[in-house]
Chain A
Amino acid sequence: MKAAADTGVLIVDDEAPARSILREMLSALPGVRILAECANGFEAVKAASELGPDVVFLDIEMPKLDGFEVLELIDPAIAVVFVTAYDSYALKAFEVHAVDYVLKPFRAERLAAALDRARERAGKVSKADPAEIAAAARPAGTHLSRIVVRDATRVHLIPAENLDVAEAQDDYVRLKSGGKSYLKQQTIASLAATLDPERFVRVHRSYVLNLDRLARLELYSRGSYAAVLTDGSRIPVSREGHARLKALLEPETRKH
């Protein structure tokens, strides 16, 4: 068996005919092994972590998770080829280091070329910062509406307004939402950059706080404060964080 040399491929599209044409054309190419077909983003993330494909052929507009969110959640070593009817995502696709961008409908040769590019770059694909991916996936001028987190093969969607607090932990952020806690590989700075600055404040080097969860501020020691949250827990507030909070809250306090 020379299966080890074959390229493992995952097909992800929510439309059955679109999956069947990918299967038909890819299986005609030498050295291709189709590991699975997935009909939505959740299945894709699960299959990517369980089956370890080399290349994913990925639709963008899908139920549950869109193509960009899938890309954000799968192993960066997997080469991603977007296959879509929309030409408007092309720029964003390359911003997030997709290997190729194939427009529907396509010729078999075009797909073969995309596969060649993917093989060249498979395993050494340097993926963009997750924040960059998240930024590319949302319409310009808006903020992240939800955060996607994967733990093992499960995917969690946290609507941005439900995020209480984010805390930096080495290369990860711990996201707290409604009493639950999730770990995501991302820097706190890049997370803060994608969130709505009117609602989320970097109150400390290691903390981003949802303003709606702030109950009060307590003076801690010479210029440093602690934020008391609505659930009673406390997080530290740095001098700069206090200044940012004041800048956001000042217009309201002045009215009283």
Chain B
Amino acid sequence: MSALHPILARKGRLAPFLSLALPLAAVLTGLLARPGAFRFGEAVSLAWLLAFVSLFLYLSVWYISRAAPLRGGRLARTVVTHAVAAILISSVWVLTGAGAARLLTPLWGPDFPSRYAAQVPALFSTGILLYILSLALHSVLLAFEAQREAEQRALELTVLAREAELKALKAQIHPHFLFNSLNSISALAGTDPARARAMCLYLSEFLRKSLAFGERKSVPVAEELALARAYLEVEGMRFGSRLSVEEAVEPEGESCLVPPLLLQPLVENAVRHGIATTVEGGVIRLEARRTGNRLRILIENPCDPEAPPRRGTGLGLANVRQRLATRYGHDALFAARRLADRYLVVLSVPAQITE
């Protein structure tokens, strides 16, 4: 919240605010022109002055209501603060009126100030009422501003969360994967240029696809699998006969939508914590099936039961779990199991064809 009053803080707000003087002056005229007080002309001249003065005077209630908000603070302190402020501000207002009455004597006769003095109790009470009115309006304004700020903050948090997710997605393309692949390309360039070129192409396909995925909310399983294939082709060049892939994918499963790059960390784990830890390597098995209104995806890979956990274990899984929870709440199942020399990841989510 800025130190400046919200009405003064923006240019466009001043004119509508000043126009409030009109009804206020009308009410004050009514009050001052009542029988036994002032004549109509006298009442109008005073009312206009008092109305304008009050507009600016009661703006200060903004600062007081911020210092002693009606909600939250200690009750006694709040009541005393506002009582004192109401008396002070109303006094200043009435005294300004007295000054004006003195200035208006050439117009309305020498007894004008004394006749004004007779109206002071009524005006003072009006001043207190104006204070209460102003306090109420400002409290509403403050509550409104607080809510708008809360909404703004919530929006910023959503944006931050989205950015964090995108960053997480980008971080999933591990630098060591790139450097190892480039090293293989460097090696093949000398001995087998055709394979070096093929590897460049698979790597480009993988990078282009995964970068494009970051922009999308959902992708069909078919595209996720195409990305996984490009990735596994690249890794296949590195690991040679140690890496083979088996797929059991049904067209019905392929057309279901999932969050983009959902499978990528799982496929990477299958290589990094699976194939890469074994001397002989083995088969990475990918399954995607739709049964009724559920989509079931399975990823299975060999692993060395004696291998110590490599750094980064669990991070990919935690990421997938988190993303499933964000997207599907409790409607997603996710399980990762180590069975002797195999590692198995199964996930089941509602089958969705449209977003």
Contact = CB atoms under 8 A, between A and B. Distances in A.
B279 interface: yes
Contacts of B176: 85-86
B183 A17 contact: yes
A223 interface: no
Interface centre among A103, A104, A146 (most CB of B within 10 A): A104
Interface in B164-181: 175-176, 179-180
Interface stretch (B67-75, B116-124, B135-143, B301-309): B301-309
Given A85-B180, A105-B182, A15 B238 contact: yes
Interface stretch (B93-101, B186-194, B288-296, B326-334): B186-194
B186 A21 contact: yes
Contacts of B188: 17
B279 A16 contact: no
A40 interface: yes
B237 interface: yes
B143 to A, nearest CB: 48
Interface residues of B, number: 28
Nearest to A43: B279
A21 B183 contact: yes
Contact of A15 (B239, B304, B308, B311): B239
B190 A15 contact: no
B191 A63 contact: no
Nearest to B239: A15
B176, B179, B308: residue with the most chain A Cβ atoms closer than 10 Å: B308
Contacts, number: 69
Contacts of A139: 311
Nearest to B238: A15
A61 interface: yes
Which residue of B239, B279, B304, B310 has the most chain A CB atoms within 10 A of its CB atom? B279
Interface centre among B180, B185, B191, B276 (most CB of A within 10 A): B180
Interface of A: 14-18, 20-21, 24, 39-40, 42, 61, 63-64, 85-86, 103-106, 138-139, 145-146, 157, 159
22 contacts: A14-B239, A14-B279, A15-B238, A15-B239, A17-B183, A17-B237, A21-B183, A24-B187, A24-B190, A40-B279, A42-B279, A63-B276, A63-B277, A63-B278, A63-B279, A63-B307, A64-B279, A64-B304, A64-B307, A105-B182, A139-B311, A146-B308
